[in-house]
Amino acid sequence: MNDPVPVNDSTLARAAAVIREGGLVGFPTETVYGLGANAMDATAVAGIFAVKQRPRFDPIIVHLADVSQLEQLVTGVPELARDLVDHFWPGPLTLVLPRNGNVPDIVTAGLPSVAIRLPGHPVAQRLITEAGCPIAAPSANRFGSLSPTTAGHVSEQLGDGVDMILDAGPCRVGVESTVVDLAGATPRLLRPGGLSREDLEAVVGPIEQHVAQPADDTAPKSPGLLSRHYAPRTPLSIAENLESLPAGRLGLLTLQAPANPDPFDVVETLSESGDTIEAATGFFAALHRLDSAGLERIIALPFPEAGLGLALNDRLRRAASAV
Ligand code: TXA
Ligand code: MG
């Protein structure tokens, strides 16, 4: 077991050296914890795929500490990308842009585009700055499993596979970044996430959302759209209401407390005031707890389709879909 270390000047310097030397570091971002490697080092990035047991067709997001690093990686920055960068970076927004030849093929799974974001977390920014290179990082979980929002989640899932895990407490946003594809003629929402669709559309106007088809699963445009992803080991069902529940030990994941909690052995309430931002912060941690509670089934009530509710419903649908 690889114990997370608290962040200070000396552990940060050590983590930056690990990245420079081709190793892997678990580190906090404002969305979820990432599993980082030097993005310009194909061998280091191959280590990410191995540790996560992630298929090579699933491309990885490159993290920057400064917008000026963008020019190193892309063929050009469209005006719309500039607007989005100005409004939302640093923050939970990933932009997919046409890439140049500096980016190793393994990072983009051979796609002609690269996904990039500038995380809004001081530890992530310092790590990238001190490492002196962009950092390629997926969420620091095993492929298809629940995302990590604490350093403990990282060590439980990836443990010895990682050279070092930096612990800066729980993530503020709690759900992965919103992914927007700007490599085509019109912008497309590839993954709803920590930046709400409403905030995004205030800048880009109405945006088309890519809808995953089951047939997509062999060669997905954005593999985060694979139908089963973000899944607990315990079977999870989405219920429109709490009538006619199955028998057995049940857990409930809900925005607000149910009128009758009696049928449930464990109830996880995410925001008594019904706030989807607050709910996102605790979402994955609540799912991790439910998954460790020895339940036969997790029942989840859907979130309102507004604010971060879109991202949470998206993750619930993927957690629930049949294998
Ligand atoms: O908040 C986040 O985005 C976190 C933190 C660590 O930054 N990272 C994260 O990475 O969620 P990951 O690997 O779990 O999800 C990255 C998503 C996947 O759905 C991947 O398919 C998509 O971004 N993606 C990466 N590069 C892409 C590209 N060139 N074109 C389309 N989608 C891409
Ligand atoms: Mg992930």
pLDDT in tens, the chain (323 residues): 589 999 999 999 999 999 999 999 999 999 999 999 999 999 999 999 999 999 999 999 999 999 999 999 999 999 999 999 999 999 999 999 999 999 999 999 999 999 999 999 999 999 999 999 999 999 999 999 999 999 999 999 998 899 999 999 999 999 999 999 999 989 999 999 999 999 999 999 999 887 654 434 444 455 555 566 789 999 999 999 999 899 999 999 999 999 999 999 999 999 999 999 999 999 999 999 999 999 999 999 999 999 999 999 999 999 997 54
Angle of helix 151-158 relative to helix 276-291, nearest 10 degrees?
40
Strands of 133-270, DSSP E = 135-136, 164-167, 178-181, 188-191, 208-209, 236-238, 250-254, 266-269
Distances, alpha carbon 18 to alpha carbons 14, 22, 127, in Å: 6, 6, 10
Atom of ligand 1 nearest to the CA of 183: 30
Check: CB of residue 160 under 8 Å from CB of residue 21. Answer: no
53, 176, 189, best to mutate for ligand 1 pocket (most atoms within 8 Å of CB): 176
Check: CB of residue 165 under 8 Å from CB of residue 157. Answer: no
What pLDDT is stored for residue 225 in this prediction? Answer: 55
Query: What's at 174, amino acid-wise?
Result: G
Q: Which ligand is closest to the CA of 137, given by its number? A: 1
Residue of the nearest CA to atom 10 in ligand 1? 138
Ligand 1 contact via 316 beta carbon (within 6 Å): no
52, 74, 75, 94, best to mutate for ligand 1 pocket (most atoms within 8 Å of CB): 94
Identify which of 244, 254, 237 has the alpha carbon closest to the alpha carbon of residue 298. 237
Check: CB of residue 261 under 8 Å from CB of residue 252. Answer: yes
What pLDDT is stored for residue 229 in this prediction? Answer: 78
Instruction: Give bridge partners of residue 114 from the DSSP assignment.
Output: 97
DSSP 65-90: SSGGGGGGTBS---HHHHHHHHHH-S
What pLDDT is stored for residue 208 in this prediction? Answer: 80
Using CA atoms, how far apart are residues 44 and 261, in angstroms rounded to an integer?
48
What pLDDT is stored for residue 223 in this prediction? Answer: 53
Query: What's at 88, amino acid-wise?
Result: F
Using CA atoms, how far apart are residues 283 and 62, in angstroms rounded to an integer?
25
Ligand 1 contact via 108 beta carbon (within 6 Å): yes
Check: CB of residue 37 under 8 Å from CB of residue 51. Answer: no
Using CA atoms, how far apart are residues 209 and 189, in angstroms rounded to an integer?
5
Place of tokens 């997370």: 4
Token couple for 246: 């199955």
Place of tokens 């000396």: 10
Ligand 1 contact via 58 beta carbon (within 6 Å): yes
What pLDDT is stored for residue 323 in this prediction? Answer: 47
Question: pTM for the full model?
Answer: 0.94
Ligand 1 centroid to 192 CA: how many Å? 11
Ligand 2 centroid to 245 CA: how many Å? 31
Ligand 1 contact via 114 beta carbon (within 6 Å): yes
Our CA angle for 174, 167, 269, nearest 5°, is 35
Ligand 1 contact via 145 beta carbon (within 6 Å): no
Distances, alpha carbon 248 to alpha carbons 19, 45, 259, in Å: 47, 43, 20
Atom of ligand 1 nearest to the CA of 34: 6
Report phi then psi at 12, rounded to 5.
-65, -40
Check: CB of residue 273 under 8 Å from CB of residue 301. Answer: no
Ligand 1 contact via 60 beta carbon (within 6 Å): yes
Using CA atoms, how far apart are residues 128 and 135, in angstroms rounded to an integer?
6
Using CA atoms, how far apart are residues 215 and 19, in angstroms rounded to an integer?
37
Ligand 1 centroid to 262 CA: how many Å? 39
Query: What's at 84, amino acid-wise?
Result: L
Q: Which ligand is closest to the CA of 138, given by its number? A: 1
Decide: residue 9, CB within 10 A, 0-12 exposed, 13-18 middle, 19+ buried.
exposed
99, 121, 222, 284, best to mutate for ligand 1 pocket (most atoms within 8 Å of CB): 222
What pLDDT is stored for residue 214 in this prediction? Answer: 41
Using CA atoms, how far apart are residues 280 and 197, in angstroms rounded to an integer?
14
Residue of the nearest CA to atom 18 in ligand 1? 224
Atom of ligand 1 nearest to the CA of 107: 26
Residue of the nearest CA to atom 31 in ligand 1? 222
